[in-house]
Every structure is written in structure tokens, then in C-alpha cells.
Amino acid sequence: MEVKKVTGAVRDAQNLVVGGASSHKGSATLSGNQSWLTLDFGVEVGGLISMQLDSVSSSSGLALSFTESPMFISPLTSDDSSYPSPNMSYDGVLHLMSPLKGGLWTQPSATLRGGFRYLTVASTAAGEVSISNVSAAISFMPHVQNLRDYSGYFYAADPIFHDKDFLTKIWYSGAYTVQTNTVPLYTGRQVPFVSSPGWQNNATLGVAGPIIVDGAKRDRANVLGGDMGVAVPTQFVSTNDLLPTRNALSTMFAAINPMTGALPESGPPLSQLGSDTYHMWTLIGTHNYFLYSGDAVWLEGVWTNFTKAVGYVLGKVDDSGLMNVTGLRDWARLGGGGHNAEGNALLYKV
């Protein structure tokens, strides 16, 4: 961690960084409204912030803001996670409850921040406040002790490219992305979204956890079958941690339409319906999970729903011999219904 930015009346900000040197080692002091500092954790993290409030007064106030990009560092707002706004101002900041009390402060669990790199601590009142021991308790991969304990490894040096380790970085970035998207069961983004300013990540995401979701921050509102086409093979080759996949697939099969066999596009709390392509991606994800795990007991448990779901899409094959896609919801594709190539390619894979 390092100090990224300091504005206003801030003393000894470097004390918040391990190894910082100052005559008052340990605490940083912010004084007056519009004084703030930004800490850089160095990588994408997510979870709950804790800090020690060493010195406060009745006229002290603090707020926290979060962002993944240095472009959006601000003491007044965080980058959006609840709902996208044109000026990136929907979420706002997290105000510490007034009046401040000295001692250890930990972020309320409902306001967990799914993904950020930069944390801004801002004074919101006239009085001084001194803080120390700022930390982030990572919430993703809650069932794993060592996030670097990869069961799969990748190394490919490119002596011609300006960054010879570029491909290796891409591989590990993909692995880490899947790790950040593996979250505790009761930390989903609330739907309907909370009103602005604010965010809440305390919704139930499925039938069991940990569970893999669409995204660590904005898209932690649901399991998405379509994402499993990439995420499941990535999990297998990097960590071989398939429990979150099994829980995600179980969630989708638990929400099957018992009359038609249609699977939802997304899991709870978003629970969107009407996507033939994501329906088939869930079926493909099931195949991949069994291929990688050999988990016959689990497969037997969902087999009735699996075959009913296969029958649902086979029933859309018409006299042309092609599937007529009628569930039109899809990612970044409009007007993709009818005898389109994507739907029929997925059906062929199923």
C-alpha cells in the first residue's frame, strides 16, 4: 500500500504505509473540511475497511470513497456500483456515523465494497481526526486461505514484445478476476438498487456459497450462465476450485420453470428471464463442471432438470432444422432472434 494523493491539511499521511517514517509514526491527521488522502492498495481488492480512530472530537467527521481507477479518485463520490450514472456520482461516499468515537472502526457489512484499488479518506468537518492501521479485509474466496496457491501455472516469455511477460500477466489477471468474482453467499448487490447516494451488498445470491457471480463490484447482483463459458475453464486450470461453480449451477437449476424447462438468464436477486443463449450456456457449464470434476452424485441430483432444460431448447428447432431463438435477452446483442448463428452454434454444443 502507498499514499497516492494528499490534499488540504493532512499531516503524516505516510505513517499509514508500512515502513513509513515520521516523528509520530503510526497515525495520520486530517484537519478541516476538504482535507483528504488517498491510499493505493496496489491491486484490485474488495471487502471491508477497518481503521483505528486514535483522536477524535465532537466536531470531527470522516467519509470514505472507493474507485478502481485513478481517474475517478474523489473525496465526494465513489465510482458507480449500484447503478451507472453519466457523471459517476450514484454511489456517493460512505459517511462514518457521527459523532465519531475513538477506537477500532470497521465498515458495516452491508456496505461491503466489491472491487476497488484506491481508498479515499476525507475529513467532512472542522475538527481534527487522527487515524492509523487502515486495512482491507478481503471478502472474496472466503473458503481459501492463500489466494496465491494456484494449482495450475502458466509462463510464456515473448522476447520480441516490449513486455516479455505480457502473456503471463494476462493469464494471471484472468485467474485473479475469477477469484475476485467468487464471493460469500450473502454479499450480493441489492435489487431493487438502493437510492442514490449509497450501495448495499447484502443480498442472497443463491442456494449455497461460496458462489461465482458476474462481477466483483457492479455485477455482483447475480449468477450469469453466460459467464460460465469462460469462468469455469479458467477456474479449473488456475485454482481447480469448482465448488463456487457447483453452487452457481445448482442455483440456476433450482430456479427452472417446472412447466416449460426454461432456465433463468440470471440468478437472484436480479433473476432475469427470457434468454435462450444464457439458458444454453448454463447447460454447457454443467457439462464443463462434470468434465472437470467427475461429480456424478451432483449430476444425478440435477439430471431431471438438466434433461428438461435440454428438451426446452430442442423444442425450438423448427422445420428448417435450425433453432428459432425466441428468448432474446443476451449480452450486447440486439435483434438476435430467429435462426441466428450464435443460438444454433450453442445448441450444437449442447
Q: State the Cα torsion 181-254-279-265 to the nearest 10°.
A: -60
The answer to whether the CB of 10 falls within 8 A of the CB of 29 is yes
pLDDT of residue 25: 62
Structural domains of the chain sorted by starting position, each given as residue range(s) with its CATH number in brackets: 2-138 (2.60.120.260), 166-349 (1.50.10.10)
Rounded Cα distance between 228 and 346, Å, is 13
pLDDT of residue 256: 98
C-alpha cell, 70: 485513478
Any residues with CB less than 8 A from the CB of 183 and at least 6 apart, and which? Answer: 114, 139, 140, 142, 205, 209, 210, 211, 212, 213, 216, 220
Residue 168 — pLDDT band, cuts 50, 70, 90? very high
* Percentage of residues of the chain with pLDDT beyond 90: 91
Q: By percentage, how much of the chain surpasses pLDDT 70?
A: 98
Could you give the CA distance from residue 308 to residue 218 in angstroms, rounded to a whole number?
A: 32
Mean pLDDT along residues 50-74: 96
Report the C-alpha gap between 186 and 266 in whole angstroms: 16
Q: Is the pLDDT of residue 284 over 60?
A: yes
Per DSSP, the residues of 263-319 read PPSB-TTT----BHHHHHHHHHHHHHHHHHH--HHHHHHHHHHHHHHHHHHHTTB-T
- Whether 82 contacts 197, CB under 8 Å: no
200 pLDDT higher than 60: yes
**Cα separation, 216 vs 5, whole angstroms:** 25
Give SS3 for 2.
strand
pLDDT band at 229 (very low <50, low <70, confident <90, very high): confident
Q: Report how far residue 45's alpha carbon sits from residue 138's, in angstroms, rounded to the nearest whole number.
A: 6
**pLDDT for res 24:** 46
- Beta carbons within 8 Å of 142's beta carbon, 6+ residues apart: 183, 184, 209, 210
pLDDT of residue 273: 96
Mean pLDDT for the chain?
A: 94
Report the candidate in 31, 10, 11, 9 with the shortest Cα–Cα distance to residue 128: 31
**331: pLDDT strictly greater than 90:** no
**Among candidates 133, 154, 118, 114, which has minimal Cα distance to 43?**
118
pLDDT of 113 > 50? The answer is yes
Q: What is the pLDDT of residue 136?
A: 97
235: exposed, middle or buried (C-beta count within 10 Å: 0-12, 13-18, 19+)? buried
Question: 210 and 263 in contact (C-beta within 8 Å)?
Answer: no
